[in-house]
Amino acid sequence: MHSWKVVVAGEGGQGVQALAESLALAAFRGGFEALYIPNFGIEQRGGVSLAMVQISPKAIGAPKFLLADLVVALSARSISRTRQYRGANTIFIYDSSLVKAPEISDEVVGLQAYDTIAPEAFAERTAYHEEGPVKELRIARSIAIPAADMARRELHPRVFNMIILGAIVAVVKMVTLEQVKEALAEKLERRFKADPQLRELNFRALQLGYEQVAGPVHTAV
Amino acid sequence: MPQTARSEQRSFMTGNEVVARAALAAGAEYMFGYPITPQNEIMHYWRRLAPRYQRGFLQTEDELSAGFACLGAVLRGKIAFSATAGPGTVLFQEPLSMAEMMRLPVVVIVQQRGGPSTATVIYSQQEVTLTCFGGNGEGLRLVYSTSSHQELYDYTIKAFHQAWRYRFPTFVLGDGYQAKMREALFLYNPEDRGMGAVPARPLLGHKGSNGNGEPQLHLRNAFSVEEELAEILRKHLADFDEAAPYLEEHEFIGEPGANLLVVAHGIVGRAAREAVEELRREGKKVNFFRPLTLRPFPEKALQQALANSNRSMLVVESAQGQLGSLCRLASGHEALQRFDTFYRPGVGITTEEIREAVTL
ipTM value of the model? 0.93
**Contact: A41, B122; criterion CB under 8 Å:** yes
User: Which residues from A are below 8 Å from B351, CB to CB?
Assistant: 61-62, 65
Query: Is B351 in Cβ contact with A35 (below 8 Å)?
Result: no
Mark whether B173 and B74 lie in a shared domain. Answer: yes
pLDDT tens for each residue of B108-150: 999 999 999 999 999 999 999 999 999 999 999 999 999 999 9
Report the SS3 class of residue A188: coil
Which pLDDT does position B329 carry in this prediction? 96
CATH number at residue B300: 3.40.50.920
- CATH code assigned at B117: 3.40.50.970
Low-confidence ranges of chain A (pLDDT < 50): 43, 101-135, 221
Contacts of B304 (CB under 8 A, 6+ apart): none
d(CA A152, CA A154): 6
For residue B212, is it within any domain? no
Is residue B284 situated within a structural domain? Answer: yes
Question: Residue B21 to residues A13, B14, B44, B152, B157: CA-CA distances in angstroms?
Answer: 29, 11, 12, 10, 9
Distance from CA of B56 to the nearest CA of A (A): 27
In chain A, the residue whose alpha carbon lies closest to the alpha carbon of B185 is: A33
What is chain B's mean pLDDT, rounded? Answer: 96
| The predicted structure's pLDDT at residue A14 | 87
- For A183, which residue in chain B has the nearest alpha carbon? B12
Strand order in the sheet with B80-84: B56-59, B30-33, B80-84, B107-112, B170-175, B142-145, B293-295
Residues B313, B189 share a domain: no
**CA distance, residue A88 to nearest chain B CA (Å):** 16
B276/B179 same-domain check: no
Query: Which has more pLDDT, B102 or B204?
Result: B102
Confidence of residue B218 (pLDDT cuts 50, 70, 90): confident
Smallest CA-to-CA distance from B140 within B110, B119, B175, B166 is with B166
Name residue B35's amino acid: P
Whether residues B181 and B263 share a domain: the answer is: no
pLDDT at B8: 80
pLDDT attached to residue A41:
61
Residues B278, B184 share a domain:
no
Domain at A4-154, CATH class: alpha beta
Q: Is residue B342 part of a domain?
A: yes
Query: Are the beta carbons of A63 and B184 separated by less than 8 Å?
Result: no
Percent of chain B with pLDDT over 70: 99
B326 contacts B353 by C-beta, under 8 angstroms: no
- Judge whether B348 is closer than 8 Å to chain A, CB to CB: yes
Same domain for B123 and B25, yes or no, is: yes
pTM of the model: 0.91
Q: Output the pLDDT for position A216.
A: 82
More confident: A137 or B43? B43
- Record: contact B270-A125, CB cut-off 8 A: no
What are the pLDDT digits (tens) for A98-116? 765 444 444 444 333 333 4
Helix axes B63-75, B93-102, angle to 10 degrees: 20
Domain assignment present for B226: no
Per-residue model confidence (pLDDT) at position A218: 66
Write the pLDDT tens digit of every residue in B72-109.
999 999 999 999 999 999 999 999 999 999 999 999 99
Handedness of CA A36, A16, B352, B172 (dihedral sign): negative
Q: How many domains does chain B have?
A: 2
Q: Which domain holds residue B343?
A: 251-357
